[in-house]
């Protein structure tokens, strides 16, 4: 009995080189690959929103970079004396909301500038499950230990992923 499906992946006509700019985002796998590429001196920006797992949050992040979205205090929540963006990894969380926003907006501006000349965007997906904030209906990248009754768990099927990609 075969427990895997063998298939051939043809070699790409274009390969990543040291002269290429690479935006790498997504799951912890993106972090691992991106860190290795950084160690080998590739020109890479790695997870400007922090680690993201679901495809819709990754689409939101890409949209933020393309539009150079500016986050403000209305985009933050306070939980356990820390300010968080529900669209970002906990590495952006801070006791000072201004510092949190400064880091978020700096990374978005940097990604916006970089993306204009990037030759590659590498995306790794982690999960087809996501959480929607009940009060806004918005998909979140991270719940930051906000009580679970504030969120609805949703399964992102293929049609939702296609809609998200078409929106970008």
Please give the DSSP secondary-structure letter assigned to residue 145.
Answer: T
Query: pLDDT averaged over consecutive 10-residue blocks of the chain (168 residues)?
Result: 83 93 96 96 97 94 97 96 97 98 98 97 92 93 95 83 57
3-state secondary structure of 138: coil
What residues are paired with 82 via a beta bridge? 79
* CA neighbor of 104 nearest in space, from 132, 138, 65, 139: 65
CB neighbour list of residue 81: distance below 8 Å, 6 or more residues apart? 95
pLDDT at 166: 59
* Alpha helical stretches, state H, 24-157: 28-39, 55-67, 97-115
pTM: 0.87
Q: Distance between CA 131 and CA 60 in Å, rounded?
A: 14
pLDDT at 167: 56
């Amino acid at each position: 009995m075969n427990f895997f499906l063998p298939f051939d992946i043809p070699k790409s006509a274009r390969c990543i080189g040291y002269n290429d700019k690479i935006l790498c985002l997504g799951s912890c796998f993106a972090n691992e690959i991106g860190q290795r590429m950084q160690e080998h001196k590739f020109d890479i920006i790695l997870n400007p929103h922090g680690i993201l797992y679901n495809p819709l949050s990754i689409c939101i992040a890409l949209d933020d970079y393309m539009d150079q979205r500016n986050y403000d205090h209305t985009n933050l929540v306070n939980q356990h004396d820390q300010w968080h963006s529900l669209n970002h990894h906990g590495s952006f969380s801070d006791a000072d909301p201004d510092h949190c926003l400064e880091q978020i907006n700096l990374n978005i501006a940097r990604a916006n500038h970089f993306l204009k000349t990037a030759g590659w965007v590498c995306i790794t997906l982690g999960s087809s499950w996501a959480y929607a904030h009940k009060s806004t209906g918005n998909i979140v990248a991270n719940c930051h230990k906000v009580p679970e009754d504030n969120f609805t768990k949703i399964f992102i099927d293929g049609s939702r992923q296609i809609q998200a990609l078409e929106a970008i």
